[in-house]
Amino acid sequence: MRSRKSSRGILSRLVWAALRGRPSVGDERLAERGVATEGRPYMSFRMIETQRLLLRPFTSDDLDEFVLLCADPEVMRYIGSGEPQSRERAEMRFNALIKHWNDHAFGPFAVATKTGDEFTGFCGLQFLDNTAEIEVGFRLAKRFWAMGLATEAAKASLRFGFEELRLDRIVAVVQPENIASSRVIEKIGLRYVKDARFYDTDVKYYAINREEYRPDDSKQE
C-alpha cells in the first residue's frame, strides 16, 4: 500500500510537470477545433479573478480538501453513479484534472476564495466524455452552495473558453434531477438541446455557440 507521503510526492511531480511552460501535446487537437495555440503561452500559469473568487491551477496542497469534496454524499449525489468516492478514486480524479491541463493546455481550475485562498471546489472546461466537444462543469463544497459562486465561476470559465481559447461551442451535461446545476447552466446562457447519455448516466445536454455568447463582467487577470 502506497503511503500518503509517497502519493503526495507523485502528485507534486505531476503538478510541477503541469506548470512547466512546455508546449502542449494537445495543441494539434485544439487547432482542429478552432482553438488558437500558435504563439500562445502554456495556460497552466493562468489565473482568473472574479468578484469573489480565484480560479487557479491545482497544487498538491489542494488534495486533502479535494478528497473531502469527493467524499461528501450530498456533493456527489448527481455525479456519475451518485456514490461518494474513496480517497483512492478521488486521487485518481485529482491526477486526471492535472493531466488534462498538461495534455491540452486547458482544464478545470481549482476555485478558491479571494479572501484567504480557501479551497471551494473546481470549475472549468474539459473534453466531454469520449467526444471532441468541450464541456463546462463545476463542483463546489456544500458550505459554498446557494451563494452564487458556481454561477460566478462558470461564467468566468465560459468567458475563458470563448475569448481566450476561442472555442466555437461549449456544452454541459446535467443529470435531470439536479435542478440547482441546471439553473446555473441556464443562467450562464446555455440552452437545453436534448436528452442524452454520457458518463454512463442519463443527462440533459446543453450548448451555447460563440455567436450566442454574451460576455459578463467577470474580471480576468
Find the CATH number of the domain harbouring 131.
3.40.630.30
For residue 181, give the H/E element and its range: helix 179-187
Contacts of 53 (CB under 8 A, 6+ apart): 111, 112, 113, 114, 120, 149, 152, 153, 156
Burial of 210 (C-beta count, 10 Å sphere; 0-12/13-18/19+) = middle
Q: What is the pLDDT of residue 219?
A: 45
Q: What is the pLDDT of residue 108?
A: 96
Tell me the residue range of the domain where 51 lies.
4-212
Please report whether residue 12 resides in a domain.
Answer: yes
Nearest alpha-carbon partner for 70 in 82, 53, 61, 58: 82
**pLDDT (tens digit per residue) in 68-96:** 999 999 999 999 999 999 999 999 999 99
Please report whether residue 221 resides in a domain.
Answer: no
Say if residues 130 and 156 touch (Cβ distance below 8 Å): no
Burial of 129 (C-beta count, 10 Å sphere; 0-12/13-18/19+) = middle
Answering whether pTM is above 0.95, one says: no
Please report whether residue 217 resides in a domain.
Answer: no
Please report whether residue 153 resides in a domain.
Answer: yes
Q: Which residues pair with 176 in a beta bridge?
A: none
What is the average pLDDT value for the chain, to the nearest integer?
83
Please report whether residue 218 resides in a domain.
Answer: no
Question: How many separate domains does the chain show?
Answer: 1
**pLDDT (tens digit per residue) in 146-170:** 999 999 999 999 999 999 999 999 9
Q: What is the dihedral sign for C-alpha 64, 171, 188, 103?
A: positive
Please report whether residue 220 resides in a domain.
Answer: no
Please report whether residue 73 resides in a domain.
Answer: yes
Please report whether residue 13 resides in a domain.
Answer: yes
